[in-house]
């Protein structure tokens, strides 16, 4: 019998009722059940939002220093429980234990950073043309916010949203992805144990199309922060249109790395390898396209193939493993179908492209790291975010053409250039249409205090992380007082 988990709602832990539950299997070994979780429905949305409204009344009036102490204590509890949380994250999502440990530490850092912002200035004193008038601003919470988070970073992404939402004084309903509900419940338990008042953070496990959609349109919700697919993001934009609902979206990416002829190839290959196949390519900032200036094309491809051949694929709990499974059978099937479609459209598979079915991999959703080549800008492997361990390469005749190829995407999340020419490097930062730019570094991996977000169809204008991350979760009030 697998463990039955409960949602935190209104300060109480509430389990599934009747058959309203779902199970989660280990993607590295589907014979292992991780646990059973409540499958909430649309009829539960109003009650959960009411619980959040109840928590809001106390939390928003609490001194910001006291709110900060709760976040700092949450960070400490996550660090105390790091081994247990990281292991559960690996078991339910599939990433390696090293990746899960780093993510748990990052989640703690998000709470630590935002807890520290309790001592930052809350507003400004402004000049006024009137005699004896004092004018100042203050930051206030917007109210109840719904956080809809993905399965690929099930600790870091919720923590990235929870930290600023809570320090600003909002109450929260967290709707995690069903594949990784346990990680979100670890965060909720740490917040609860750190002394968070009842109703300030509530969790809602279940289908995104039912409980998630109902929460996003529930009465009393002031804002929705969503990380996930462009399709769901568009649906949320449609619901928010014409209303006062705030919407923050972090959507897809088709991130490119440009390798120029003067690049240090040892640095470039290390960075591309880690960004393409780390976390099995299931990161919004993964490198999925590589453009190589022509004189280096053969050498770069040869080196990447050798790296792909050497990667050890298996259960993330094995410390020798460098790449785990995909999160689900559905995700594996989608990626394999996209590879097949890309091949049918003329792309060449240089390595991989198939499911691993030998004895060591038969019970999991494993795929070989994959390298494809195409010069067709319409090929699905070049255009679409596959969200798997697939890297597509092509050559460019000049650095300028390489920049053109990098921008050849409807997305604009992250991009990297590898060069020893400072002039080229700075030109790249100016010319690339992306929110995150790396020079001789991977496209993935951004610290908690660095503003994060993309351009074009990669998301909304609201940034996450850093001081800019407070903007979505707060509103500014201007105050004038006669002091004569």
Q: Give me the CATH number covering residue 84.
A: 3.40.605.10
pLDDT band at 2 (very low <50, low <70, confident <90, very high): confident
Same structural domain, 303 and 404: yes
Q: How far is CA 420 from the centre of its chain?
A: 31
Q: What is the pLDDT of residues 161-173, one digit of tens each?
A: 999 999 999 999 9
Q: What is the pLDDT of residues 453-468, one digit of tens each?
A: 999 999 999 999 999 9
Same structural domain, 238 and 322: no
Same structural domain, 12 and 107: yes
Same structural domain, 14 and 62: yes
Q: What are phi and psi of 13, to 5 degrees?
A: -90, 120
pLDDT band at 234 (very low <50, low <70, confident <90, very high): very high
DSSP 107-150: HHHHHHHHHHGGGS----EE--SSTTEEEEEEEEE-SEEEEE--
Same structural domain, 267 and 246: no
Same structural domain, 273 and 408: yes
Quickly count: other Cβ atoms within 10 Å of residue 22's Cβ.
16
**DSSP 8-state assignment for residue 42:** G
pLDDT band at 97 (very low <50, low <70, confident <90, very high): very high
The answer to whether residue 2 is domain-embedded is no
The answer to whether residue 291 is domain-embedded is yes
Same structural domain, 372 and 234: no
Q: By three-state DSSP, how is residue 26 classified?
A: strand
Same structural domain, 181 and 305: no
* Percent of the chain predicted with pLDDT > 90: 97
Residue 284 bears catalytic tag: yes
The CA distances from residue 5 to 85, 247, 255, 297, 420, in Å, are 15, 30, 37, 51, 52
Residues 6+ apart with CB under 8 A from 382: 289, 342, 347, 374, 376, 392, 394, 408
Which among 103, 112, 284, 464 is annotated as catalytic? Answer: 284
The answer to whether residue 454 is domain-embedded is no
The answer to whether residue 452 is domain-embedded is no
Radius of gyration of the chain from its Cα atoms, rounded to whole angstroms? 23
pLDDT band at 110 (very low <50, low <70, confident <90, very high): very high
- Return the ∠ at Cα 102 (arms to 98 and 106), rounded to 5°: 170
Nearest CA-CA partner of 145 in 247, 267, 253, 30: 247
The answer to whether residue 117 is domain-embedded is yes
Are 160 and 174 in contact by the 8 Å Cβ rule? The answer is no
The answer to whether residue 1 is domain-embedded is no
Q: What is the pLDDT of residues 326-345, one digit of tens each?
A: 999 999 999 999 999 999 99
Residue 404 bears catalytic tag: no
Q: What is the pLDDT of residues 410-457, one digit of tens each?
A: 999 999 999 999 999 999 999 999 999 999 999 999 999 999 999 999
The answer to whether residue 22 is domain-embedded is yes
pLDDT at 1 over 80: no
The answer to whether residue 466 is domain-embedded is yes
Mean pLDDT of the chain: 97
Nearest CA-CA partner of 169 in 192, 190, 143, 148: 143
pLDDT band at 484 (very low <50, low <70, confident <90, very high): low
- 483: exposed, middle or buried (Cβ count in 10 Å: 0-12, 13-18, 19+): exposed
Q: What are phi and psi of 373, to 5 degrees?
A: -135, 135
Total number of domains constituting the chain: 2
Nearest CA-CA partner of 434 in 222, 193, 256, 184: 256
pLDDT band at 19 (very low <50, low <70, confident <90, very high): confident
Same structural domain, 34 and 158: yes
pLDDT at 25 over 70: yes
Same structural domain, 332 and 244: no
Q: What is the pLDDT of residues 176-196, one digit of tens each?
A: 999 999 999 999 999 999 999
The CA distances from residue 68 to 116, 203, 306, 451, in Å, are 6, 21, 48, 20
**CATH number for 373:** 3.40.309.10
Q: What is the pLDDT of residues 214-223, one digit of tens each?
A: 999 999 999 9
- 103: exposed, middle or buried (Cβ count in 10 Å: 0-12, 13-18, 19+): buried
Same structural domain, 246 and 271: no
Contacts 24+ apart (CB under 8 A), 425-428: 427/403, 428/258, 428/403
User: CA quadruple 469, 471, 474, 477: dihedral positive or negative?
Assistant: positive
Give me the pLDDT at residue 17, please. Answer: 83
Pairing of β 348-351 and β 414-418: unpaired
Q: Which domain holds residue 440?
A: 255-447
pLDDT at 18 over 90: no
Which among 250, 322, 385, 464 is annotated as catalytic? Answer: 250
The CA distances from residue 328 to 130, 332, 388, in Å, are 64, 6, 11
Same structural domain, 283 and 159: no
């Amino acid at each position: 019998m697998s463990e039955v988990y409960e949602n935190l709602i209104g300060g109480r832990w509430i389990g599934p009722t009747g058959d309203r539950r779902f199970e989660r299997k280990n993607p590295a070994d589907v014979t292992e059940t991780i646990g059973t979780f409540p499958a909430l429905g649309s009829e539960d949305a109003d009650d959960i939002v009411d619980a959040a409204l109840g928590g809001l009344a106390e939390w928003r009036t609490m001194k910001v220093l006291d709110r900060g102490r709760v976040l700092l204590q949450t960070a400490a509890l996550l660090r105390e429980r790091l081994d247990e949380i990281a292991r559960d994250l690996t078991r339910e999502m599939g990433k390696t234990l090293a990746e899960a440990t780093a993510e748990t530490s990052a989640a703690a850092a998000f709470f630590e950073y935002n807890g520290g912002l309790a001592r930052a200035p809350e507003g400004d004193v402004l000049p006024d043309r009137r005699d004896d008038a004092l004018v100042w601003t203050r930051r206030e919470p917007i109210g109840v916010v719904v956080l809809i988070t993905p399965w690929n970073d099930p600790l870091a992404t919720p923590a990235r949203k929870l930290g600023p939402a809570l320090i600003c004084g909002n109450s929260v309903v967290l709707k995690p992805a069903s594949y990784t509900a346990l990680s979100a419940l670890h965060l909720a338990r740490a917040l609860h144990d750190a002394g968070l008042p009842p109703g300030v953070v509530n969790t809602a496990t279940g289908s995104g199309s039912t409980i998630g959609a109902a929460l996003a349109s529930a009465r009393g919700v002031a804002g929705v922060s969503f990380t996930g697919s462009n399709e769901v993001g568009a649906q949320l934009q449609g619901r928010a249109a014409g209303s006062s609902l705030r919407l923050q979206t972090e959507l897809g990416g088709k991130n490119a790395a440009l390798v120029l002829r003067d690049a240090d190839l040892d640095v470039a290959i290390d960075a591309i390898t880690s960004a393409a196949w780390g976390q099995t390519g299931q990161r919004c900032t993964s490198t999925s396209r590589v453009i190589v200036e022509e004189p280096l094309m053969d050498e770069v491809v040869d080196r990447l193939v050798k790296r792909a051949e050497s990667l050890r694929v298996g259960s993330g709990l094995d410390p020798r493993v460098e790449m785990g499974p995909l999160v689900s059978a559905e995700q594996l099937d989608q990626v394999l179908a996209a590879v097949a479609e890309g091949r049918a459209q003329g792309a060449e598979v240089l390595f991989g492209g198939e499911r691993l079915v030998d004895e060591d991999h038969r019970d999991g959703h494993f795929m070989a790291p994959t390298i494809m080549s195409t010069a067709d800008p319409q090929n699905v492997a070049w255009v679409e975010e596959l969200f798997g361990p697939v890297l597509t390469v092509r050559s460019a005749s000049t650095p300028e053409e390489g920049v053109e190829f990098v921008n050849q995407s409807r997305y604009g999340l992250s991009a990297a250039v590898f060069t020893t020419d400072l002039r080229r490097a700075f030109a790249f930062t100016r010319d690339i249409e992306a929110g995150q730019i790396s020079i001789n570094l991977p496209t993935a991996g951004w610290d908690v205090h660095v503003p994060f977000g993309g351009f074009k169809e990669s998301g909304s204008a609201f940034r996450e992380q850093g001081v800019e991350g407070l903007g979505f979760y707060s509103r500014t009030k201007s105050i004038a007082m006669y002091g004569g």
